[in-house]
C-alpha cells in the first residue's frame, strides 16, 4: 500500500520534505496556514536579500566616480518600487514551488492544522468546513516567529518585528535595533543603506556573538560599521522604550552579562528614534497545536525534541527546521536538509543528520561566511589546530572590485593538515564559503587546497593562497613580510 505522509508547515523544511517524500512514492499532504515558502521566502532570506541588493547597488552607484563613472546627482530609493520588486521576487518563487508540488502530485491544503493524534490532523481552511487528514507518518515543520519583548511588545508602528521591517511604508529617519545577531546586523546595513540613522544594541561583548562565528569576523564587521557611521553598543541592553506620537525614547542600560566595571557602572543612555526593531531571537509556533496532548517532547519554550533521524519521542512523528529551536541550527538550508532526512526516514531509510559541516551566511557589508570549527571551539574540544589568515587587500580580484576589506581564515589540524574550519569576511563571502564547506566536508588538507588550481583573477584564489601561506610558502607575500598581507597579483 502507498505510504501516506502529512506535513504541517510549508517553509523550506516542509515543502522540501514533501517533494522528497513524493519522489519516493508517498501520497503526500502538505498543510500551510499562510504563504507557501514560510519565513524564508516571505519574511526572511529572500526579502532581506532583495532589499540588500538594492542598497548595495545604491552604495556602488554613489561611489561610481572612484571607478571612473560620472553620474549626475545621487541615487535615491523609490520605496514603492523596491517593495513591489520584493513582492515580484517572492511571487516568482511561490509560483515555482506551487508548480513543483503540482508536478509531484503533492496535495497542498491552505489552512490551519491541528494535530489530533499521530495519524490524524484536522485542517481548518480559510474557506469551507474543516477536513480530517489521515496518514501513516507525520512531519512537523511549523517553524518559528519573531520573539517579542514583554517590556515593549510589537505594535507594527514604533516597535517592529523583522516581518514588519520588511513591509516598510516609509524609511525611518532613525532606528534602534535591539539585538546584534545575524538578523540585527543584516538589518543594520539595510537601514543604513536606505539612509536611516542606525543604533544597534547587543547584550553580549561583540556583534554576531555566535559560537560558530570567528571573533575576528566580528572585529572587522564592527570596524566596517563604524566606517558607515552605524552606531553600535555592545554589553548593553534596551531596558525600556517609551512610545511617543512620532518617536520612541529608548533607555539603554548595562547588560546583565557585562563584566567590565566601566560598562557595569555606567549610567543608562537615552536615545530618541523614529522606530525600534526588536531582533532578539525566535519563538516557537508549535504550542497549542495539539502536540502537548499527544505527549510530544518539547521544552518549556515550545521547541520540539528530535533525534538525529529527525524522529520525535512519538514513533512515526518527525520534526524539522526552526521548530527544533536554537539547540539545532535555525537556517533555511538546515531545515531543508532535515526535511530530506525526515522524509527518507519516514519511508524506511536510516539516515542521520550531520550538523558538523553547516555553512552560515551573513549578508552584511562585507559579507560573512563560516563553516566548521573556530579556533576557540576546536581548542575547547581538545583539538590541536593552527590557523592562517589572508587579507583580501592582497588579492587582485578584490582590488579590481574595489572591495578590499576582510580576510579568509582557515583552521587546520596541526598534524594532518586537514581543514576543520573556514571563516571568511569580505566580498562575496557567502558564495565563497561553498568551497570551504566542500573542503571541510571532504576532509581536504591544506595541501589539497593549495594544489587545486584556481581560476585567475577570482576571489576563491584567496582560499588557495591562504593554504599556500599556511604551508609556509605564500606566493604573494614578500619573503620578509611572509605572515603579513600579500602584495597582490
Ligand atoms: P518556517 O520558514 O518558519 O515555515 C514554517 C511554516 O509553517 C510557516 O509558513 C507557518 O505559517 C506554517 N505553520 C506553522 N504552524 C502551522 C499550522 N498549525 N498549520 C499550518 N501551517 C503552519 N536563513 C538562511 O539560511 N539564510 C538567510 O539568509 C536567512 N535570513 C533570514 C532573515 C530573516 C529576517 C529571518 C527572520 C530569518 C532568516 N533565515 C535565514 C532563517 C530562515 O528563514 C529559517 O531558518 C527558515 O525559514 C526555517 O524554515 P522552516 O521550514 O523550519 O520554518
Rounded (10°) angle between helices 45-62 and 182-194: 40
321-378, pLDDT tens digit by residue? 999 999 999 999 999 999 999 999 999 999 999 999 999 999 999 999 999 999 999 9
Distance in Å, CA 17 to ligand 1 centroid? 14
What pLDDT does 302 receive? 98
Residue 32: CB within 6 Å of ligand 1? yes
Residue matched to cell numbers 521576487: 89
Percent helix, strand, coil in the chain, to 5, is: 35, 25, 40
383-417, pLDDT tens digit by residue? 999 999 999 999 999 999 999 999 999 999 999 99
Atom of ligand 1 nearest to the CA of 36: 9
Residue 8: CB within 6 Å of ligand 1? yes
Helix ranges (H only) for 347-428 are 375-380, 396-401
Measured at the CA of 54, the angle between CA 50 and CA 60, to 5 degrees, comes to 140
pLDDT band at 485; cut points 50, 70, 90: very low
- Grid cell for residue 78: 523609490
Mean local confidence (pLDDT), 115-121: 98
The protein residue whose alpha carbon is closest to atom 36 in ligand 1 is 44
What pLDDT does 487 receive? 36
- Ligand 1 pocket: which of 10, 40, 184 to mutate (most atoms <8 Å of CB)? 40
The protein residue whose alpha carbon is closest to atom 18 in ligand 1 is 113
Residue matched to cell numbers 592582497: 394
Distance in Å, CA 166 to ligand 1 centroid? 14
Atom of ligand 1 nearest to the CA of 360: 25
The protein residue whose alpha carbon is closest to atom 15 in ligand 1 is 142
What pLDDT does 481 receive? 52
Cβ atoms within 10 Å of 167's Cβ, excluding its own: 13
Distance in Å, CA 39 to ligand 1 centroid? 3
Distance in Å, CA 89 to ligand 1 centroid? 17
Residue 298: CB within 6 Å of ligand 1? no
Measured in degrees and rounded to the nearest 5, phi and psi for residue 368 equal -125, 135
The protein residue whose alpha carbon is closest to atom 35 in ligand 1 is 44
Atom of ligand 1 nearest to the CA of 338: 52
Mean local confidence (pLDDT), 47-74: 94
Distance in Å, CA 399 to ligand 1 centroid? 37
Residue 39: CB within 6 Å of ligand 1? yes
- Grid cell for residue 95: 509560483
Residue 183: CB within 6 Å of ligand 1? yes
The protein residue whose alpha carbon is closest to atom 26 in ligand 1 is 45
Whether the upstream peptide bond of residue 366 has omega within 30° of 0, thus cis, is yes
Q: Is 456 a catalytic residue?
A: yes
Atom of ligand 1 nearest to the CA of 35: 9
Percent of the chain with pLDDT over 90: 92
- Ligand 1 pocket: which of 7, 8, 14, 44 to mutate (most atoms <8 Å of CB)? 44
Using CB atoms within 10 A of its CB, is residue 89 exposed (0-12), middle (13-18) or buried (19+)? middle
Mean local confidence (pLDDT), 233-244: 96
Distance CA 126, CA 107 (A): 16
Q: Which residue in 456, 468, 476, 489 is the catalytic one?
A: 456
Pairing of strands 27-32, 107-117: parallel
The protein residue whose alpha carbon is closest to atom 43 in ligand 1 is 40
Rg, Å, the chain Cα set: 24
Distance CA 324, CA 326 (A): 7
pTM: 0.96
* Contact (CB, 8 A) for 180 and 234: yes
Instruction: Give the SS3 label for residue 253.
Output: strand
Distance in Å, CA 336 to ligand 1 centroid? 11
What pLDDT does 442 receive? 97
Element (DSSP H or E) covering residue 261: helix 261-264
Distance in Å, CA 127 to ligand 1 centroid? 24
390's CB contacts (< 8 A; 6+ apart) are 407, 408, 462, 465, 466, 469, 474, 485, 486
Amino acid at each position: 500500500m502507498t505510504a501516506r505522509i502529512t506535513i504541517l508547515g510549508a517553509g523550506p523544511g516542509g515543502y522540501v520534505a514533501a517533494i522528497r517524500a513524493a519522489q519516493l512514492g508517498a501520497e503526500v499532504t502538505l498543510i500551510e496556514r499562510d504563504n507557501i515558502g514560510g519565513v524564508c521566502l516571505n519574511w526572511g532570506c529572500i526579502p532581506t536579500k532583495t532589499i540588500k541588493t538594492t542598497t548595495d547597488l545604491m552604495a556602488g552607484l554613489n561611489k561610481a566616480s572612484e571607478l571612473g563613472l560620472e553620474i549626475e546627482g545621487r541615487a535615491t530609493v523609490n520605496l514603492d518600487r523596491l517593495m513591489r520588486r520584493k513582492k515580484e521576487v517572492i511571487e516568482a518563487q511561490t509560483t515555482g514551488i506551487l508548480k513543483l508540488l503540482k508536478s509531484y502530485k503533492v496535495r497542498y491544503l491552505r489552512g490551519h492544522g491541528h494535530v489530533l493524534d499521530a495519524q490524524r490532523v484536522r485542517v481548518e481552511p480559510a474557506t469551507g468546513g474543516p477536513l480530517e487528514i489521515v496518514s501513516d507518518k507525520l512531519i512537523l515543520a511549523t517553524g518559528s516567529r519573531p520573539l517579542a519583548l514583554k517590556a515593549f511588545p510589537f505594535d507594527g508602528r514604533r516597535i517592529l518585528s523583522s516581518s514588519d521591517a520588511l513591509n516598510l511604508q516609509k524609511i525611518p529617519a532613525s532606528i534602534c535595533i535591539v539585538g546584534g545577531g545575524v538578523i540585527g546586523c543584516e538589518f543594520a546595513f539595510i537601514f543604513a543603506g536606505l539612509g536611516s540613522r542606525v543604533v544597534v544594541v547587543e547584550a553580549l561583548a561583540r556583534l554576531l556573538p555566535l559560537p560558530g562565528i570567528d571573533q575576528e569576523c566580528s572585529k572587522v564587521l564592527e570596524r566596517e560599521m563604524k566606517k558607515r557611521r552605524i552606531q553600535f553598543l555592545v554589553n548593553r541592553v534596551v531596558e525600556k522604550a517609551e512610545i511617543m506620537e512620532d518617536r520612541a525614547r529608548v533607555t539603554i542600560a548595562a547588560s546583565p552579562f557585562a563584566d567590565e566595571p566601566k560598562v557595569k557602572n555606567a549610567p543608562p543612555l537615552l536615545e530618541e528614534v523614529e522606530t525600534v526593531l526588536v531582533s532578539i531571537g525566535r519563538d516557537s509556533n508549535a504550542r497549542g497545536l495539539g502536540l502537548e496532548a499527544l505527549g510530544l517532547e518539547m521544552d518549556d519554550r515550545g521547541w520540539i525534541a528530535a533525534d538525529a533521524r529527525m524522529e520525535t519521542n512519538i514513533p512515526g512523528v518527525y520534526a524539522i527546521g526552526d521548530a527544533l529551536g536554537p539547540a539545532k541550527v535555525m537556517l533555511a538550508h538546515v531545515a531543508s536538509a532535515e526535511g530530506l532526512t525526515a522524509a527518507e526516514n519516514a519511508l524506511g531509510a536510516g539516515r542521520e543528520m550531520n550538523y558538523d559541516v553547516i555553512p552560515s551566511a551573513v549578508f552584511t557589508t562585507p559579507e560573512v561566511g563560516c563553516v566548521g570549527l573556530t579556533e576557540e571551539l576546536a581548542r575547547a574540544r581538545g583539538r590541536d589546530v593552527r590557523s592562517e589568515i589572508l587579507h583580501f587587500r592582497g588579492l587582485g580580484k578584490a582590488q579590481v572590485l574595489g572591495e578590499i576589506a576582510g580576510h579568509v581564515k582557515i583552521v587546520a589540524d596541526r598534524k594532518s593538515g586537514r581543514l576543520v574550519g573556514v571563516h571568511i569576511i569580505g566580498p562575496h563571502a557567502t558564495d565563497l564559503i561553498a568551497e570551504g564547506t566542500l573542503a571541510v566536508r571532504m576532509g581536504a588538507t591544506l595541501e589539497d587546497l593549495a594544489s587545486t588550481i584556481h581560476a585567475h583573477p577570482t576571489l576563491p584564489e584567496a582560499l588557495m593562497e591562504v593554504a599556500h601561506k599556511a604551508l609556509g610558502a605564500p606566493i604573494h607575500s614578500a619573503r620578509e613580510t611572509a605572515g603579513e598581507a600579500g602584495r597582490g597579483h
